[in-house]
């Protein structure tokens, strides 16, 4: 009965526009989107460059990118905390326990996902695309944009996966943001806090939002993959 009441209260909070709840959702979504927007262009260009260029230490770079996918977000939060703390090398920015600090964490978390997916997509592309563009006298920038367009479904999958990664993480947001009500409290940190207090209504409501976002992201990814298969099947 208690669980049923909590679920009922969760839906009431969602559909009555509870300001505290929707402020948490706004902070979480806005910081995740901003972090992704900052990381995406650098990661896509970096992934393309690693895939296309031969240089000393290339295998080491690829290994580090892939290894970074497995880094716990709480470890990333710890490293950023030390950098952004008052006595840290970046303490002058005053980003610790602020939304700017959370965005910085989202950028660091998203970067390996975007890099790895873009790298894989470019490596899997037909090399004739780049060769044809070069043969027609295309500039390096034109070659890059042509090849990235051909692997656009893979790049879109990278962006979607990156967004899912950053909006669902809790460790970094907790350590760098401080879980301050109305300022740096995100969906995941709020769920952790409310659950620890034994107050489940808000946690369930936020969980429903997070599940909805995850389903929407995966649905979009499935549609993109379907479009990619359809495009490959065309003559």
Structural domains in the chain? 2-233 (1.10.3720.10)
Instruction: State the Cα–Cα distance between residues 157 and 143, nearest whole angstrom.
Output: 21
Predicted pLDDT at 113? 95
Q: If you average pLDDT over residues 139-155, what whole number do you get?
A: 89
- Find where tokens 């070069």 sit: 134
Query: Residues 39-56: pLDDT tens digits?
Result: 999 999 999 999 999 899
Nearest to 68 by CA among 28, 30, 39: 39
pLDDT tens digits, 90-104: 999 999 999 999 999
Q: Which of 203, 188, 114 is nearest to 179 (CA)?
A: 188
pLDDT (tens digit per residue) in 182-200: 999 999 999 999 888 888 8
User: 186-189: long-range contacts at Cβ-Cβ below 8 A with a sequence spacing of 24 or more?
Assistant: 186/24, 186/27, 186/28, 186/31, 186/102, 187/24, 187/25, 187/28, 188/28
DSSP per-residue codes, the chain: -HHHHHHHHHHHHHHTT-HHHHHHHHHHHHHHHHHHHHHHHHHHHHHHHHHH---TTHHHHHHHHHHHTT--HHHHHHHHHHHHSTTSTTGGG--TTSHHHHHHHHHHHHHHHHHHHHHHHHHHS-HHHHHHHHHTT--HHHHHHHHHHHTHHHHHHHHHHHHHHHHT--HHIIIII---TTTT--HHHHHHHHHHHT-HHHHHHHHHHHHHHHHHHHHHHHHHHHHHHHHHH--
Grade residue 139 by pLDDT with cuts at 50, 70 and 90.
confident
Residue 108: pLDDT band by 50, 70, 90 thresholds?
A: very high
pLDDT in tens, 159-178: 999 999 999 999 999 999 99
- The pLDDT-based confidence of 130 (bands split at 50, 70, 90) is confident
Question: Per residue in 55-84, pLDDT tens?
Answer: 999 999 999 999 999 999 999 999 999 999
Q: Does the structure show a pLDDT above 80 at 232?
A: no
Q: Can you tell me the distance from the alpha carbon of 62 to that of 50, in angstroms, rounded to the nearest whole number?
A: 8
pTM greater than 0.85: yes
């Amino acid at each position: 009965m208690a669980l049923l009441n909590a679920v009922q209260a969760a839906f009431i909070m969602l559909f009555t526009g509870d300001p505290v709840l929707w402020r948490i959702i706004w902070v979480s979504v806005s910081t995740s989107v901003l972090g992704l927007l900052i990381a995406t262009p650098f990661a896509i260009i970096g992934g393309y460059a690693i895939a296309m260029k031969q240089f000393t230490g290339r295998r080491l770079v690829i290994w580090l990118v892939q290894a970074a996918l497995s880094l716990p977000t709480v470890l990333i939060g710890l490293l950023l905390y030390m950098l952004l703390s008052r006595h840290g090398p970046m303490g002058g920015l005053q980003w610790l326990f602020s939304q700017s600090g959370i965005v910085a964490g989202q950028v660091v978390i998203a970067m390996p996902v975007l890099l790895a997916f873009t790298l894989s997509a470019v490596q899997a592309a037909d090399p004739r695309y780049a060769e044809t563009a070069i043969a027609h006298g295309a500039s390096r920038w034109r070659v890059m944009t042509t090849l990235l367009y051909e692997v656009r479904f893979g790049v879109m999958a990278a962006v979607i996966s990156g967004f899912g990664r950053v909006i669902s993480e809790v460790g970094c947001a907790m350590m760098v943001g401080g879980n301050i009500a109305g300022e740096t409290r995100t969906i995941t940190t709020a769920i952790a806090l409310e659950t620890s207090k034994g107050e489940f209504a808000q946690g369930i409501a936020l969980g429903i939002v997070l599940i909805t976002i995850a389903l929407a992201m995966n649905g979009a990814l499935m549609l993109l993959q379907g479009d990619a298969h359809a495009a490959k099947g065309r003559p």
